[in-house]
Amino acid sequence: MRVFPAALERLTEQFAKLPGIGGKTAQRLAFYLLSQPQEEAEEFADALLEARKSVHLCPVCQNLTDRDICPICEDEERDHGLVCVVAEPKDVVAMERAREYHGVYHVLHGVISPLNQVGPDDLRIRELLERVGKGGVREVIMATNPDTEGEATAMYLSRLLRPLEVRVTRLAYGIPVGSQLEYADEVTLLRALEGRRDI
């Protein structure tokens, strides 16, 4: 016997698909949305649909943008010879929070993870190699998380980049193995940038 209306259960199921959202939290979110005025629920739905329609990948760095080219890649004051490779768009936010990095980025959209069936072809590696191959890049900083998958991805990319005669470095995190870039504070990120080492 169904306790709640089918539409409410469907909404709960959709929230439960989000990362980090369990069944109870999904149910709480669904009830919250239903308790809001119609206009607010419509604004929420419109914001979701608008984001899906207008946000796409920057053709240069693969970060999320709603422009032809993202603001970081467009910024002529940034050092375009310095490319920081991160796993996810949220890692760009973490690096920018430190306010000490003035280069540009390349977003892989994941890391190599055989257990999760993610291989090199599933990432934005080809775009990175093409970008570096065009010239003008003097250093590529590997800023994937200091865990098994992040390290494996950094080592794999360094081997691919070596023939392109570009310096490849790795952030010296100063944070425990298994930690994530997005949770590192500004001081830790600054030290990681300053202490980066060749790989």
Tens digits of per-residue pLDDT, 42-85?
999 999 999 999 999 999 999 999 999 999 999 999 999 999 99
Please give the class, per CATH, of domain 6-54.
mainly alpha
> 120-133: per-residue pLDDT in tens?
999 999 999 999 99
**Tokens matching residue 41:** 């629920």
Please report, as a single letter, which amino acid is at residue 8.
L
Please report, as a single letter, which amino acid is at residue 94.
A
Q: Tokens 């899906």 map to which residue?
A: 52
Could you tell me the pTM of the whole model? 0.85
Asked if domains 6-54 and 57-198 share a fold, the reply is no
Q: Please name the helix (run of DSSP H) or strand (run of DSSP E) that holds residue 81, with its range, or none.
A: strand 79-86
Count the helices and strands in the chain (H runs, E runs): 8, 7
Domain ranges of the chain: 6-54, 57-198
Q: Tokens 């199921």 map to which residue?
A: 13
Yes or no: say if 16 and 26 are a contact pair by the CB < 8 Å rule.
Answer: yes
Pick the CATH number of 57-198 from 3.40.1360.10, 3.40.1670.10, 3.30.700.30, 3.60.15.10: 3.40.1360.10
In order of 15, 30, 88, the CA distances from 21 in angstroms are 7, 12, 19
